[in-house]
Amino acid sequence: MQTREPATRRRPSSSTSFKGGRALVGALILTACGAVVSTPALADGRGFTAHDLVTMARLSDPQPSPDGRSVVYVLRETDLEADRGRTDLWHVPADGSAAPRRLTSHPSGDSHPRWAPDGSAVFFLSSRSGSSQVGRLPMGAGEAQQVTRLPLDVGGFAVSPKGDRLAVSLEVFPDCDDLACTVDRLAAKDGEKHSGMVYDRLFVRHWDTWKDGRRSHLFALPLNRAGVGGEPVDVTAGLDADVPSKPFGGFEEITFTPDGEGLVFTARVAGAEEPWSTNFDLYHAPADGSKPPRRLTDNPAWDTQPTFSPDGGTLAYLAMERPGFEADRYRVVLRSWPDGEDRVLTQGWDRSSGGVQFSADGKTLFTTAGDRGQVRLFAIDVASGKVRELWGEGHVRSPGQVAGDRLVFGLDTLVAPVDLFTLPIAGGETPKRLTEVNAERLEGIAMGGYEQFTFPGWNNETVYGFMVEPANFDSAKRYPVAFLIHGGPQGSFDNDFHYRWNPQVYAGAGYAVVMIDFHGSTGYGQAFTDSITGDWGGKPLEDLQKGWAHAQERYSFLDGDRSCALGASYGGYMINWIAGRWGDTFDCLVNHDGLFNLESMYYSTEELWFPEWEMGGKPWQKPESFNRHNPMRFVQNWKTPMLVIHGALDYRVVDTEGLATFTALQRQGVPSKLLYFPDENHWVLKPANSVQWHDEVLAWLSRWTREPAED
């Protein structure tokens, strides 16, 4: 493999590129004492495989201690025999003075660590009692103890600033007066002989679950001096809402007030309009349940992720401006607490904040944001709103302040899974490594180096892309190509180590990989993201066409005569669109959970705000919008062999979209296969299914891209 320049040294433009490879990863992959070392993950060796991917240890949820001297985090490892992941808690000094050590090892798995305010213990979630409950682990000597003994599973929790209360989320029937009512009602349903479910409004199912009438509600309960919880009270009683939100909301949407006597949280109280509403507001409720929740914001768009300054005088939160648009820009808003005016801090910054964390002195906010193919770390001055970049390479995750003037965060790249690093708040240094959780797993594995490039796309506007070399790259050879298309469509091929769509699996199998962040992608300014609305098959297709042509011209080792395009969700939609509108380009196609008929998809999906925004209305109002870029209209042009993949539990893009695609292919005699997962949703999550997915996909690519036999 050729050596590349460090990507941290220059910015890409229409005539330059980011380069990554040995030099880039050598700059990021550091020893525990911070010295730069060579990177065995990029050395010659065997190629990275799907088995390697599913068995990578996955680090998440780093939590700095109150004194900033150490970090607790979650490490997920794969139990192949049980076909699942299991999680444990680990601990590492923030200065890297000692190796990480495991804190828990119970077979049931432990997660969601949160420090006691005095640093004496870590609270966590565990199912070791037979249900999901809160546990407490002393950080000196002593065994973990069970804190809550509730009759329902705890979904998540937060600890009050004084350590005298917990806030927990529980699934309850909202009309019940106590937890016993929910328990009894569930038991009664289990004993019924009939199985019919009756609904009188939409959201009958969401993501991968049918609704049964329960809501996720927020409860507060006192802790005694021994750290054992008392009786919970529903602080969200009377709200027809899920707190935290579903399906992906967590306790980043919830915080205690500075005095610990109240809770501020995000909720969407939309009634029958919930399936087409993105009107999330902030609410405040006393922790003792003495008063009903009070709405704090009346923005008709999305407000979320409240957090308080260290002195308790300022509430920061994220807010969108446009109702009904889930990909609008998150602006950072500050409010004097408790009853002051709002001030939009980042109105002039054309990036979407991924959440904020105050510095210890309250003068700075730390945030991450997608930016030109990276997820960078930024500091925002609270007084002026001025934004400065602290670290700009790879994908930064979950930043938090540790001892002194340093931040700790997760960091990964296209060639390296997530590990913990620290960086001075002032920036200007290479991050210092704290963990190396996959060192043994990556030993002897060759990764493909990468390069980020730019080209003139639609309207000659600058568009970015990534190229990933095959493992053990030889510049004298030509390689077949996997052309990956991201979903969303408001998404991005970030410089990260993805645990499902990871280009290194294709690089390990001998393919070069090309990925284009077409118009509509995030991280390039809101206007760029907005440009795809109403134009799903227009600008993005032109960008993909021009990006593919540019990549072949730029990289002579790409064999354009042996290439396949692959995509999921919107990427799967684009595969169907390519089949009808650009079908003579690739040797094969792979469509995972893709859309076949935009009109029928509207009537079967659950989050209606999405198609209504993207198409400018409802099908009976805007039929031309749903039909203009509808793949179904061009099935007569389909000729390219296609592998179709779908999950039965995908209620975002229902499985009939995949079946319709397969029917159109088979009925016309187009070579095609269907891979169907009865136990997967919009994603493929089970380890064994992930391996099968990759085996089928790579076999399909090999069938259609293998070199012709010599005479």
User: Is 571 within 8 Å of 485 (Cβ atoms)?
Assistant: yes
Contact 211, 205 (CB under 8 A): yes
Peptide bond before residue 107 is cis, with ω within 30 degrees of 0: no
Contact 168, 134 (CB under 8 A): yes
- Residue 692 structure tokens: 């099968």
- 479 and 557 Cβ atoms separated by less than 8 Å: yes
Scored b (16 or more CB within 10 A) or e, 486-515 reads: bbebbbbbbbbbbbebbbbbbbbbbbbbbb
Spatial CA neighbour of 402 closest among 439, 431, 428: 431
C-alpha distances (whole Å) from 343 to each of 288, 315, 350, 388 are: 30, 10, 17, 19
Please identify which residue in the block is written with the tokens 């390519």: 578
Distance CA 296, CA 315 (A): 11
Catalytic site includes residue 650: yes
308 contacts: CB under 8 Å, gap ≥ 6: 255, 257, 258, 314, 315, 316, 337, 358
Catalytic annotation present for 474:
no
Token reading at 412? 């990964």
Tell how far CA 372 is from the center of its chain: 17
**E strand or H helix that includes residue 307:** strand 303-308
Neighbouring-strand partners of residue 323 = none
Question: Which residue out of 486, 650, 655, 690 is catalytically annotated?
Answer: 650
Q: Are 328 and 301 contacting, i.e. CB atoms less than 8 angstroms apart?
A: yes
Amino acid identity, residue 479?
Y
Sheet holding 672-677, edge to edge: 18-20, 450-456, 462-468, 512-517, 479-485, 558-568, 588-592, 642-647, 672-677
Which among 217, 284, 629, 682 is annotated as catalytic? 682
Instruction: Please say if 97 is a catalytic residue.
Output: no
| Planar angle of CA 207, 678, 589, nearest 5 degrees | 85
Report how far Cα 487 is from the mean position of its chain's Cα atoms. 12
- For residues 47 and 398, is the Cβ–Cβ distance under 8 A? no
- Number of other residues whose CB lies within 10 A of the CB of residue 58: 19
Alpha carbon distance 252, 266 (integer Å): 9
Active site residues: 569, 650, 682
